[in-house]
Structure 1
């Protein structure tokens, strides 16, 4: 009798599926890297053009304000309002640059970028946010450094927006073979289908997972010991050099 319940796999079909999966992973990784390059270039343009122009305007306004007579209170008040407005634009521009691309990653390394990102995020969102980082700042390629930083950002956003967490820890570690970035919170825990394509799928996490797999690593999301979510990305050490 022919066993129709458990048909034998077709080796050629399996090969085609594996090849197609590899091609899609490569395409997603290439596209994500292009996005990062575009974000980096846009952040640099905002810094070089808009940022420098706003700083120059602030200096010109300060010089003009010195020539306003002390008795002209209305003009002095207007000058103060303009200064406050310009400072607000400069701060908004700075935040936009940081969201697009963290220059500390490129010039000071991943450790410095995380050391700034994590506590600042905690302050902004009312969370207790801690970063546990190695003493030595190992060299990372731009691709790997950006990927690990994006993972930290995604984990932090999830803790603040969805997990109802009050505390989040970001841990960067290296066991000599794998580099590991872990984001752990004390919130409600991950959805069962957050990485599997269900209705609660986080597409940002799935894209990060495909980028990690392209580099020979992986991304997992699971319930941490004691509750809460644990997002962990691993990348082979040979990719980090």
Structure 2
């Protein structure tokens, strides 16, 4: 799952990014409101963490511009302000949630899970396909024969495929959504992680498989 973090305090941005990456998110960072809007033009984000007090455009202005364009990506407002008026303003403008600094890392990740879960699967933290279940809260892949905890990139790749079963996902899309625009990794890394996932599905005796279509990408399919 890919998030945009818009926070102008660089040490805090770095700390939040580390928390989110430990929780299996891919994170892009913006340090002012204008830069955040430029990132959001891509339409690739599953969630946005938006600080209010930023240079060039504040968080309220970014949120207003986003919603005017019809972009319904869930937004968590993150700010040092605790006044009720600010909370009401943000929520009335279309924010999904509000968190006041300082905050506990566990609350931040719980709120992100809650707001993105509402957008995707109506309240469940689990994705299922065939006899396989992927738990977004624990990062565990399970079947009737057992369970395995997935590493960061493995989890994100399988999550994307399980959200889009039977649909081909190109290597470029994996690179864009999971490794990011600034990554120096070669596209061949996608094949490496597909290989890891195939082995783990096999170890769980999955009745689904990852199929490759030459020059088209990968899809999660039921075994025939």
Q: Normalized against structure 1, the TM-score is what? A: 0.29
Which has the larger strand fraction? 2
Which protein has the larger Cα radius of gyration, Structure 1 or Structure 2? 1
Which has the larger helix fraction? 1
Q: Normalized against structure 2, the TM-score is what? A: 0.31
